[in-house]
Amino acid sequence: MVGMRQMRVSSGDFVPPLSEQPAAEKRRPRRSVMLKRVGLAAATAFLTVNIWTGCPLLALWVGAQTVQERRVTMTSLFVIVAVLAVLVFASAVGIAWLNAAYDELIGRPRIERRPAWMRSMRAEAEVRIVQRVGVTALERVVMLNVYVAVILLAVWFVFFAGPPFLHN
C-alpha cells in the first residue's frame, strides 16, 4: 500500500504492516484449532448431560450392587449418596479443566472469576480494572444443558409425576 511504512526487523528483512495481511487469515482459525474447539464443546456437553443423567444412574447401580436384600437400607443410601457426590465432583472438576483448556485455546485472558458476594468489603474501595469478557461457547453449552434439564424436570413434574398421595 502506498503511504504505509514497512518495519525493519533485526535480521534486516522488511515486514509488511499488520493491515496488509489478508483479512481471511486474521479472522479464520485454522482447521485444527476449530476441531479442538468442537471437541472441547462436545466433551463439555457430554459431562454436563452426565451430571444430571449418568451420574445418578451409575450411583443407583453401585448402590444396588451393595445391597444384600430386596429392600432399601441405610448402607445402600449412604453408598448412593457418596458415589453420586464423588461422580458429580469429578464431573465439575472435568468441566472446569475443559473450560480452562478452551480459554487457553481461544486466547481468553485469565481473570479472577470470584462472585461479588465472595469478595472482601475492603476490595470495594480499591479501584479495579474490569475486563469485559463475553460468554464462550462452552459456557453456552453448559447453560443450554441447565435449561433443558430444568424444562424436562418441570414437564415431568407437571404431566407425568402425578400426585404422591394417590400411590398407596
pLDDT in tens, the chain (168 residues): 444 444 444 555 555 555 554 555 555 568 888 899 999 999 999 999 999 999 999 999 999 888 877 888 888 899 999 999 999 999 999 999 999 999 888 888 776 666 677 777 665 554 454 445 578 888 899 999 999 999 999 999 888 887 776 655
Q: What is the pLDDT of residue 31?
A: 85
* 120 domain-assigned: no
Q: What is the pLDDT of residue 165?
A: 65
* 55 domain-assigned: yes
Q: What is the pLDDT of residue 162?
A: 76
Question: What domain range is 60 assigned to?
Answer: 29-111+134-166
* 80 domain-assigned: yes
Q: Phi/psi of residue 136, each to 5°?
A: -85, 170
Q: What is the CA radius of gyration of the chain?
A: 26
Q: What is the pLDDT of residue 143?
A: 92
> Of how many residues is the chain composed?
168
* 3 domain-assigned: no
What are the CA-CA distances from residue 121 to residues 79, 86, 116, 131 (Å)? 41, 34, 10, 20
Q: What is the pLDDT of residue 28?
A: 59
- Structural domain count of the chain: 1
Q: What is the pLDDT of residue 2?
A: 46
